[in-house]
Amino acid sequence: MVSTLLIVVIFLAIAFDYINGFHDAANSIATVVSTKVLSPFQAVLWAAIFNFAAYFYFTDHKVANTIAKTVVENFITLEVILSGLVAAILWNLLTWWYGIPSSSSHTLIGGFAGAGMAKAASMGAGVMTAINLAPILKVVAFIVLAPVIGMVISVIISIILLHLSKNARPSVAEYWFKKLQLVSSAALSFTHGGNDAQKVMGIIYVAMVAGNVLKTGDAMPEWIPITCYAAISLGTMSGGWKIVKTMGSKITKVNAFEGVAAETAGAVTLGITEHFGIPVSTTHTITGSIVGVGLLKRVSAVRWGVTVSLLWAWVLTIPVSATLAALIFSVIHLFF
């Protein structure tokens, strides 16, 4: 028998995936829109197609497994998952409203962990006993590593592209780079879908275990991944224009050549981290890649004031989401 609370949790998880899509759409389309290769509508449609196409390729669900293991199973209840999701949705909507490209991945992980720790406290256990430190530390490490890796790869790709196109006429090079940007933005959307959709898959899976519909170790029902990929794709089609502006022009001005380098670097980084089951932030990755192409021009080409503001959002996302989830759990716990 499926409980009403489980249905509510699954609905909220899918809603979070949809919000993740329009919150993170900017990551995939900001440069391709700012260089006018595609119109905003064409760009979100292009990104949504490749978000969903990832469903057919990323079938190992390594990132989903990492997310599912964030909180120790003994402390996972539907109330814990509900609290984490509500906190994550609230933080995502707040940062979207102010045009801050924060990490949907980290807010989900922070919310889940914070609610788990609140559950442990309510049982008289130590709060740290509720979380598995290995996946948490991996995620925290890649708050720093993901943008740095993206930045380094974007610099390397930029140097290679500059060498390959050094004898081409500027107008011809610009023409071909705009064509290549369709490929690089598709690759970024593809890996974004593969990485981010899995995070909610992991949450829905543990919810079904907590709701006694599945047992730990059971295969993930096929409707979960296909629903999550569909939700994030539909969310991407809804846009997220405030964040597009931040990512596409406020960090540094990006031309087609730089867009190809940044998007390709982001896609490569996300592909590598997905292979190792590391739930990284698409936002952090592409931001680091954009900073990389800006640095190759000159250090002053990067608007460091904007970048520092983004860093504060990155640092605060997990602890704020965790605290908010703990408070929400304390309220929900009174009724269940």
Q: Go through 190-214 and write b for each residue having 16 or more CB atoms within 10 A of its CB, e for each that does not.
A: bbbbbbbbbbbbbbbbbbbbbbeeb
Q: What is the mean pLDDT of the chain?
A: 81
| 27 — pLDDT class (breaks 50, 70, 90) | low
The residue with greater pLDDT, 159 or 295, is: 159
Q: Which of 137-141, 208-212, 306-310 has the highest mean pLDDT?
A: 208-212
- pLDDT higher than 50, residue 304: no
Residues of the chain with pLDDT > 90, as a percent, come to 20
pLDDT on residue 153 = 92
pLDDT on residue 79 = 93
Segment among 9-23, 53-67, 103-117 with least mean pLDDT: 53-67
Domain ranges of the chain: 4-332
pLDDT on residue 246 = 47
- pLDDT higher than 50, residue 249: no
Residues of the chain with pLDDT > 70, as a percent, come to 86
The residue with greater pLDDT, 169 or 269, is: 269
- pLDDT higher than 50, residue 69: yes
* Tens-place pLDDT, residues 76-97: 899 999 999 999 999 888 887 7
- pLDDT higher than 70, residue 1: no
The residue with greater pLDDT, 45 or 324, is: 324
pLDDT on residue 321 = 92
Mean pLDDT, residues 262-286 taken together:
84
pLDDT on residue 248 = 43
| 32 — pLDDT class (breaks 50, 70, 90) | confident
pLDDT on residue 214 = 87
Mean pLDDT, residues 8-29 taken together:
82
- pLDDT higher than 80, residue 301: no
Between CA 248 and CA 244 the distance in angstroms is 6
- pLDDT higher than 90, residue 175: no
Mean pLDDT, residues 49-69 taken together:
83
pLDDT on residue 28 = 67
Mean pLDDT, residues 98-126 taken together:
84
- pLDDT higher than 50, residue 308: yes
pLDDT on residue 181 = 87
For CA atoms 73, 80, 279, 110, give the dihedral sign: negative
| 251 — pLDDT class (breaks 50, 70, 90) | very low
| pTM: predicted TM-score of the whole model, two decimal places | 0.82
